[in-house]
Every structure is written in structure tokens, then in C-alpha cells.
């Protein structure tokens, strides 16, 4: 296949070469391109969160005489939250395994469990936010609390969006079956859900555990 006329490409240009950059078999299939594109979105989301983490780390001591990290956070509550989100991530993986084998009942059951554990997580987080705001430790109290609510709230907003997406996916699988494009969407959802768990690992370590060290 390789002919003598194929000149070596210089840098990023394809001058003098027949190579289009797509390989000899044309562009990659959708089952490769779609998850890859979504993976790039997830990584850009992580960069967004890194900026929020950086602002939190900068402002964590700017309490303006208000409550500091040690007086606000409850470790037992965070442990339950962590367990809920981790099991949600695990069950989501089981749903993917069932979906790959086109098992409707098992997929729906696992997806429902994913959603319920996600709801438990979100409920605890909203309860914590409500308690803090009730104690006068709302986002307008100090720069530290503003950055805290931005960081953790942004994660919570992602979880909320994920739950809506999850409901949509359950309905789509129910109505349209395990079509190729539906499976791709489900795969993207599972990547999104696992990535949220990774961000939560950083949050519970940096915000809650290091924040409550004696």
C-alpha cells in the first residue's frame, strides 16, 4: 500500500502527502468519536473545577470573623454522602454491564438505584446547605463561605443535571430500546457520573477532611 510518492510530512502540514490525517480507513466510527469528544468535555469540566478549587484554597482563611471550617462541617454526614455517591457510581457501572447485554429489566433497576442513591447524596447536601444558611453561615457571610458554596454548589448542580439526564435516559431506553445511539448516550452519562465521583473525592478530602483537622 505504501508508495514511493508518499513524501514525509513536515510538522503538522500534509504538504506533498496524500495523507488526510484520517488514516487509510477514513474517519473513526461514532462509537469511538462520541465518547472521546465527551471525554474532552469532562476534562474541560475538571479544569473549571480546578479554578474553583484554587479560589477556595486562596479564600479558605478569609472568614471575616464568621464561622471557620472547623465549626461548620460534620464528618459523619460527609461520610454518608461519600458512601451514597460511591455506591451510585458502582451501580451505574452495573447498569452499563446490563445495558451492554440488552437486559431491559436489570438495566432499569440498576439505573433506578443509581438515581435513588444520587438523590440521597443531593438530599444530604441540600440539608447541610439549609442548616448552614439557617445558622447565618450563608454564601454572603464571608469570602470563604462564598467560595465554599460556589465549589460544592457547582458539584451539586452537576449532580442535579446528572439526575435529570438519568431520568431522560431511563425513559429513552424504555421507549426506544437498546438502539446504537441510545447506548452511546448512556455511555456518555456513565462517564459523566463517574467523573462527578472523582470530583467529589477531591471535595471531601480538601474541603471537609483537611478543613476539619484539629
Partner 1 sequence: MTEHEPELHNVAPGEPHDNMLTETLSYVIGLGLALLLTGISFWVASTGTLWGPGVATGLVVLAIAQMGVHLVFFLHITSGPDNTNNVLALAFGVLIVFLVMIGTIVIMAHMNANMSPMPELMNLQMQKG
Distances (CA, A) of 79 to 76, 82, 114, 139, 199: 5, 5, 18, 23, 15
Cell of 178: 437498546
Residue 61 dihedral angles phi and psi, to the nearest 5°: -95, 0
Given the rule CB under 8 A, which of 16-24, 155-163, 170-178, 199-207 is the region that contacts partner 1? 199-207
Closest approach of Cβ 19 to partner 1, in Å?
A: 18
Which of 68, 80, 86, 143 touches partner 1 by CB under 8 A? Answer: 86
Size of the site for partner 1 (CB under 8 A): 42
| Distance in angstroms (rounded) separating the CA atoms of residues 42 and 36 | 10
Closest approach of Cβ 36 to partner 1, in Å?
A: 6
Closest approach of Cβ 148 to partner 1, in Å?
A: 16
Distances (CA, A) of 137 to 66, 88, 107, 125: 8, 30, 42, 15
Task: Answer whether 19's CB lies under 8 Å from 9's CB.
Answer: yes
Binding mask 55-84 for partner 1 (x = CB under 8 A): x-xx----------------x---x--xx-
Cell of 56: 477556595
Given the rule CB under 8 A, which of 18-26, 109-117, 140-148, 191-199 is the region that contacts partner 1? 191-199
Residue 150 exposure: Cα atoms within 13 Å on the Cβ side:
19
Please report, as ranges, the residues that interact with partner 1 according to CB under 8 A.
36, 39-40, 43-44, 46-47, 50-51, 53-55, 57-58, 75, 79, 82-83, 86-87, 89-90, 93-94, 97, 100-101, 191, 194-195, 197-198, 201-202, 204-206, 209-210, 212-214
Amino acid at each position: 500500500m505504501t508508495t514511493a510518492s508518499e513524501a514525509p510530512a513536515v510538522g503538522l502540514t500534509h504538504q506533498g502527502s496524500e495523507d488526510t490525517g484520517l488514516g487509510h480507513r477514513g474517519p473513526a466510527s461514532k462509537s469511538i468519536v462520541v465518547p472521546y469528544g465527551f471525554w474532552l468535555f469532562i476534562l474541560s469540566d475538571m479544569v473549571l473545577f480546578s479554578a474553583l478549587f484554587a479560589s477556595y484554597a486562596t479564600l479558605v482563611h478569609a472568614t471575616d470573623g464568621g464561622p471557620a471550617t472547623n465549626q461548620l462541617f460534620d464528618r459523619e454526614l460527609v461520610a454518608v454522602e461519600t458512601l451514597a455517591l460511591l455506591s451510585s457510581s458502582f451501580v451505574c457501572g452495573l447498569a452499563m454491564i446490563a445495558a451492554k447485554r440488552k437486559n431491559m429489566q436489570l438495566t432499569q433497576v440498576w439505573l433506578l438505584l443509581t438515581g435513588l442513591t444520587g438523590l440521597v447524596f443531593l438530599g444530604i447536601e441540600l440539608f447541610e446547605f439549609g442548616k448552614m444558611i439557617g445558622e447565618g453561615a450563608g454564601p454572603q457571610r464571608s469570602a470563604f463561605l462564598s467560595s465554599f458554596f460556589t465549589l460544592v454548589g457547582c458539584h451539586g448542580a452537576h449532580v442535579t443535571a446528572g439526575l435529570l439526564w438519568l431520568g431522560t435516559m431511563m425513559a429513552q431506553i424504555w421507549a426506544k430500546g437498546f438502539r446504537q445511539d441510545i447506548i452511546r448516550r448512556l455511555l456518555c452519562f456513565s462517564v459523566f457520573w463517574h467523573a462527578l465521583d472523582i470530583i467529589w473525592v477531591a471535595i471531601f478530602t480538601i474541603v471537609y477532611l483537611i478543613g476539619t483537622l484539629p
